[in-house]
Chains A and B, each alone.
Chain A
Amino acid sequence: MQTTFIVAILVLGFLVTFQIAKASEYVAILRGEERSRKQTNKINGFLLLVFLIAGLIGVYYCNEQLKGKILGAPASDHGVLVDRMLYITLALTFIVFVITQVALFWFSYKYQESDNRKAYYYPHNNKLEVIWTVIPAITLTVLVGFGIFYWFKITGEAPKDAMQVEVVGSQFKWEFRYPGADKVLGKKYFKEINDAKNNPLGQLWDDPANHDDIYVSGEPMHLVVNKPVKLVIGAKDVIHDVGLAHFRMKMDAVPGTPTTMWFTPTKTTADMKKETKNPDFVYEISCDQMCGKGHWSMRGEIIVETQEEFDAWLAKKDPQYAKITPAKKVEPAKDSTTAPAVLKDSVIAQVIK
């Protein structure tokens, strides 16, 4: 009913507009086309000026309304660089924006058609062209210079003492792995991935570096404040992206091609709760690369805490290898139940081949 009503109003509004538009054409002919064209010209010239002024006020108003809703100060060292670059660019582009938009609409208004003026024949001026080639070129050189300087700082090698965490994306969840006491992530092979065999990441158990690796899923990733962290990023099925808005960091997770990024979190989750005055604050991992129907809900969390808190949390975790070893010992005894499973696997492998 409501829909019909809305449609009826739209159709009616349209018909009225159309009739007015149609009538205005006849009126124009009655009053003399040239005269009414000139009047319309004046109205539109004036509207362009109104648009300029209202637009600039709108830009200011929009900023007042929304500036508090963007994420506040960055929570990582690299984030500070990203934000600084952003504000340098914002300052320069805003100046250009105002100058050019004002010129555009002001010229349009000022030089609207008038019987008293003849257009000025002004086909070219090489000096002007050179000026507005060189000035943008210099400005952009500055932006490129800063940009590349920060870019290399951010994407350079991670410090030696950085902790490593592996992040693996799959539809539509995040899984993590910590390297354990040896600080080395063990080797993986995707064909070993098997949830039923307690090997969700495809770790190769022949590699001793895997024996102390700790697998974490279904809970937040834990990081230590003021300690550089290098994320080793991968994906199982399609391309995902580890988006860390508060840290201003982002890196794709590509199946078959591991990627990395590193940064130093500078504020604990508790700090941020205070700073944002939001007791529910959490650092979130958002998937930033379209990955299927659950893309919009592919959410992970990060807790940034002190070293002591982190150590206490990690100490409670068992390496994934510990879950696999008893299973291996039991295997011969439970021959009757595991055999079909093994058979089934090999059949699948055959079919795939």
Chain B
Amino acid sequence: MSEALSVHPEIVTTHDVHHDEHGGGHHKETFISKYIFSMDHKTIGKQFLITGIIWAIVGGLFSVLFRLQLGYPGQSFPILETFFGHWAKGGQIQPEFYYALVTMHGTVLVFFVLTAGLSGTFANILIPLQIGARDMASPMLNMLSYWFFFLASVIMMSSLFIQTGPASGGWTIYPPLSALGQASDGSKLGMDLWLVSMAMFIVSSLLGGLNYISTILNMRTKGMSMTRMPLTIWAMFFTAVLGVLSFPVLLSGAILLLFDRNLGTSFFLSDIVVNGEVLPNEGGSAILFQHLFWFLGHPEVYIILLPAMGMVSEIMSVNSRKPIFGYMAMLGSLFAIAILAFLVWAHHMFVTGLNPFLGSIFVLLTLLIAVPSAIKVFNWLTTLWRGNIRFTPAMLFAIGFVSLFISGGLTGIFLGNSTIDIHLHDTMFVVAHFHIVMGVASFFGMFAGVYHWFPKMFGRYLNNTLGYIHFWVTMVGAYLIFWPMHYEGLAGMPRRYLDKSGWVSFNQFGDLDKMITVVSIIVFAVQLMFVFNFFYSIFKGRKVTTQNPWGANTLEWTTPIRPGHGNWVGEIPEVHRWPYDYGKDGRDFIPQTEPIGANESKH
């Protein structure tokens, strides 16, 4: 700790002496070193964010396309044929295309948007700024982390344009379907590209994660003890730990699957006759892959959710002008969630023929997660109680996050209970559940973060009116889309059915599916409006004129309005208190940098 700190003054001098007010960082910076191969954590964060936004548009557009099929099966949309050719013959989405769309929608949003785009962005931007560091522990590895992500993106994107199409066995890519090109076109070249792309993605995620962990542990400014860190940083820390421990397991699964596909091994294959052709593989286990996949897959949902929780806690406290209620309990529950995240993966596998006794253990551990989740919800509610709440767009998204987290969390209690899961497993109920709690809720956390820290990122504000429209349409839309969808699942309607008209049991929801499709198109259009607002405001938004526009306590607001590489001009400030002294002793807020006063009350 002391060693790390002693290095700082030197950096300070090299940075400061030649500095002008732009705070541009190194003086020999060229366009390429400043904006492309940048080692500034803030620029890398923005790179993650913008790449994430582009992927979100792609992934969101895919969902609109397959919602068209679900809402209007059998109807022809000639424009689709114009764009997609034989994939939408006669203007109708072909089954291969449909499954490619859902697979890529899931892959892109889970990994590229809500993992890289969310924690990549905010861990990068917030960790050094909020703990008081000039940059990440290794700016070089940090830069590589982004460029491996970029490489993964290029490979995944290229798989969309090949003859046999991208992977189409669902984002969970269960073998044997994903292992056998004979079983599905999407399991040909597209699947290899998917696996290679994910391998690159995992490298990126590991480089990033190790960096976040070492930065948080070693590079905090003077006085910034672990329990004085904002909850955002704690959340990013646990997120990084989860990623570092679980992503390698997916990597091993992906590599074994590549071997099965290309080298004739039988890790996941046994007793297979596909289209009349008897395959030689014996002795593998298809279920083994599911264990490997979900050992990452379940922590992954917390990798997505925890950063959102952290940012929501911070934003809620700032805008309620009140400390976050139960800081230690919030921290403990984050820790409990992080531990339990590793012990519940088999609840995705209750109906695979899993030993029922093993299943019952996973029921117990899964429902245990509801306890720390409940603590978090009650603490957020108490944070609002008797506050003096300012509804900035960020705050509205934070409130929306809590609402969605409650709704989606409660339906998790249905699915985590193996008895009910027998009926609801792989139905639309699951789709509704995880879209609310992991998809939309995390997106709300991300939006809250973008609205809140946009002034720090770009020195300008997002347009508020567009922000409010964005929030209200998305909030109402999210519930209209996913709430009624639970009923489809209660009727047992399986997921990934592109046309239910041939079924006696599931054909009663035609009107509902139409409604959902219309709403999702509207919601998608409003997201495009947000994207427009984002890019427009980078250049033309209202300028930030004060250093601390939200009246917040944390360190990022002590930097210049447009901080350069190195973040602080002069010495890094010292921290004297926790970050949540809002409304204490009659004062609106007391920044972390202010020493404890002589007459100050204790909390």
Query: Which residues of chain A come closer than 8 Å to B423, judged between CB atoms?
Result: 79, 82-83, 86, 245, 248-250
Stretch at the interface among B29-37, B40-48, B364-372, B434-442: B364-372
A69 x B387 contact (CB < 8 A): no
Q: Whole-angstrom distance between the alpha carbons of A10 and B352 in the complex?
A: 46
Residue of A nearest to B480 (CB): A58
Q: Whole-angstrom distance between the alpha carbons of A22 and B472 in the complex?
A: 18
Distance between B123 CB and nearest chain A CB, rounded to angstroms: 26
Q: How many residues of A contact B (CB 8 A)?
A: 122
User: Contact check: which of B329, B351, B464, B475 meets A241 at CB < 8 Å?
Assistant: B351
Instruction: Decide if A330 is an interface residue (CB 8 Å cutoff).
Output: no
Instruction: Decide if B169 is an interface residue (CB 8 Å cutoff).
Output: yes
Distance between A48 CB and nearest chain B CB, rounded to angstroms: 7
Which of B172, B387, B423 has the most CB atoms of chain A within a 10 A radius of its CB?
A: B423
Stretch at the interface among A174-182, A204-212, A232-240, A308-316: A232-240
Instruction: Decide if B154 is an interface residue (CB 8 Å cutoff).
Output: no
Instruction: Decide if A147 is an interface residue (CB 8 Å cutoff).
Output: yes
Known A89-B413, A255-B176, A255-B270; judge A352-B279 contact (CB<8 A).
yes
Residue of A nearest to B99 (CB): A293
Stretch at the interface among B109-117, B211-219, B353-361: B353-361
Residue of A nearest to B502 (CB): A297
Residue of A nearest to B266 (CB): A256
Which B565-603 residues have a C-beta within 8 angstroms of A? 580, 582-586, 603
Instruction: Decide if A251 is an interface residue (CB 8 Å cutoff).
Output: yes
Query: Which residues of chain A come closer than 8 Å to B176, judged between CB atoms?
Result: 237-239, 255
B286 x A254 contact (CB < 8 A): yes
Query: Which residues of chain A come closer than 8 Å to B386, judged between CB atoms?
Result: 111, 119-120, 122
A237 x B180 contact (CB < 8 A): yes
Instruction: Decide if B302 is an interface residue (CB 8 Å cutoff).
Output: no
Which B448-505 residues have a C-beta within 8 angstroms of A? 463-466, 468-469, 472, 475-476, 479, 483-484, 487, 490-500, 502-505
Which A191-214 residues have a C-beta within 8 angstroms of B? 191, 193, 195, 202
Instruction: Decide if A295 is an interface residue (CB 8 Å cutoff).
Output: yes
Q: Whole-angstrom distance between the alpha carbons of A62 and B487 in the complex?
A: 9
A104 x B391 contact (CB < 8 A): no
Known A93-B414, A103-B381, A140-B368; judge A292-B184 contact (CB<8 A).
yes
B466 x A18 contact (CB < 8 A): yes
A293 x B272 contact (CB < 8 A): no
Distance between B84 CB and nearest chain A CB, rounded to angstroms: 14
Known A100-B377, A111-B385, A237-B273; judge A251-B503 contact (CB<8 A).
no
Instruction: Decide if B539 is an interface residue (CB 8 Å cutoff).
Output: no
Instruction: Decide if A287 is an interface residue (CB 8 Å cutoff).
Output: yes
Which of B279, B413, B496 has the most CB atoms of chain A within a 10 A radius of its CB?
A: B413
User: Contact check: which of A48, A86, A152, A249 meets B360 at CB < 8 Å?
Assistant: A152
Against B, the Cβ 8 Å flags (1 = close, 0 = not) of A53-82 are 001001100100011011100000011011
User: Contact check: which of A136, A237, A296 meets B274 at CB < 8 Å?
Assistant: A237
Query: Which residues of chain B come closer than 8 Å to A293, judged between CB atoms?
Result: 95-96, 99, 168, 184-185
Instruction: Decide if B177 is an interface residue (CB 8 Å cutoff).
Output: yes
B419 x A48 contact (CB < 8 A): no
Against B, the Cβ 8 Å flags (1 = close, 0 = not) of A151-185 are 11011100000000000001100000000000000
Query: Which residues of chain B come closer than 8 Å to A3, judged between CB atoms?
Result: 78-79
Residue of A nearest to B492 (CB): A245
Instruction: Decide if A294 is an interface residue (CB 8 Å cutoff).
Output: yes
Q: Whole-angstrom distance between the alpha carbons of A122 and B601 in the complex?
A: 12
Instruction: Decide if B120 is an interface residue (CB 8 Å cutoff).
Output: no
Query: Which residues of chain A come closer than 8 Å to B245, judged between CB atoms?
Result: none
B271 x A118 contact (CB < 8 A): no
Against B, the Cβ 8 Å flags (1 = close, 0 = not) of A126-145 are 00110011001100100110
Q: Whole-angstrom distance between the alpha carbons of A86 and B351 in the complex?
A: 17
Q: Is the interface of A mostly helix, strand, loop or mixed?
A: helix
User: Contact check: which of B96, B272, B324 meets A256 at CB < 8 Å?
Assistant: B272
Q: Whole-angstrom distance between the alpha carbons of A352 and B95 in the complex?
A: 31
Residue of B nearest to A190 (CB): B271
Residue of B nearest to A247 (CB): B423
Q: Whole-angstrom distance between the alpha carbons of A195 and B277 in the complex?
A: 11
Query: Which residues of chain A come closer than 8 Å to B426, judged between CB atoms?
Result: 241, 243, 250, 288-289
B403 x A25 contact (CB < 8 A): no
User: Contact check: which of A17, A140, A143, A259 meets B353 at CB < 8 Å?
Assistant: A259
Residue of A nearest to B178 (CB): A238
Instruction: Decide if B518 is an interface residue (CB 8 Å cutoff).
Output: no
Query: Which residues of chain B come closer than 8 Å to A191, judged between CB atoms?
Result: 278
Which B248-271 residues have a C-beta within 8 angstroms of A? 269-271
Q: Whole-angstrom distance between the alpha carbons of A135 and B399 in the complex?
A: 24
Which of A25, A295, A299 has the most CB atoms of chain B within a 10 A radius of its CB?
A: A295
Against A, the Cβ 8 Å flags (1 = close, 0 = not) of B266-297 are 00011111111011101011110000000000
Known A193-B273, A250-B423, A290-B170; judge A105-B487 contact (CB<8 A).
no
A236 x B272 contact (CB < 8 A): yes
User: Contact check: which of A14, A193, A256, A281 meets B504 at CB < 8 Å?
Assistant: A281
Query: Which residues of chain A come closer than 8 Å to B496, judged between CB atoms?
Result: 290, 295-296
Which A86-122 residues have a C-beta within 8 angstroms of B? 86, 89-90, 93, 96-97, 100-101, 103-105, 107-108, 111-114, 117-122
B406 x A82 contact (CB < 8 A): no
Instruction: Decide if B420 is an interface residue (CB 8 Å cutoff).
Output: yes
Instruction: Decide if B323 is an interface residue (CB 8 Å cutoff).
Output: yes
Q: Whole-angstrom distance between the alpha carbons of A353 and B280 in the complex?
A: 7
B327 x A123 contact (CB < 8 A): yes
Query: Which residues of chain B come closer than 8 Å to A132, judged between CB atoms?
Result: 374-375, 378
User: Contact check: which of A113, A249, A280 meets B388 at CB < 8 Å?
Assistant: A113
Q: Whole-angstrom distance between the alpha carbons of A152 and B490 in the complex?
A: 22
Q: Whole-angstrom distance between the alpha carbons of A64 and B410 in the complex?
A: 21
Query: Which residues of chain A come closer than 8 Å to B270, judged between CB atoms?
Result: 255-257
Q: Whole-angstrom distance between the alpha carbons of A296 and B500 in the complex?
A: 8
Residue of A nearest to B322 (CB): A119
Known A133-B371, A143-B413, A150-B419; judge A104-B491 contact (CB<8 A).
no
Stretch at the interface among A39-47, A220-228, A336-344: A39-47
A45 x B389 contact (CB < 8 A): yes
Which of A67, A202, A252 has the most CB atoms of chain B within a 10 A radius of its CB?
A: A252
Chain A residues near B (Cβ < 8 Å): 3, 10, 14, 17-18, 20-22, 24-25, 40-41, 44-45, 47-48, 51, 55, 58-59, 62, 66-67, 69-71, 78-79, 81-83, 85-86, 89-90, 93, 96-97, 100-101, 103-105, 107-108, 111-114, 117-125, 128-129, 132-133, 136-137, 140, 143-144, 146-148, 150-152, 154-156, 170-171, 190-191, 193, 195, 202, 236-239, 241, 243, 245-246, 248-252, 254-257, 259-260, 278, 280-282, 284, 286-297, 299, 352-353
Given A71-B505, A236-B272, A290-B169, 15 more contacts at CB 8 Å? A3-B78, A40-B391, A45-B391, A71-B490, A96-B410, A97-B410, A104-B403, A144-B363, A154-B422, A190-B273, A236-B274, A254-B353, A255-B286, A292-B99, A296-B498
A-B CB proximity, top 5 nearest: A245-B492, A256-B270, A259-B353, A119-B583, A155-B356
Sample (8) of A-B pairs whose CB atoms are under 8 Å apart: A14-B529, A17-B469, A89-B413, A119-B388, A122-B386, A132-B375, A147-B418, A286-B505
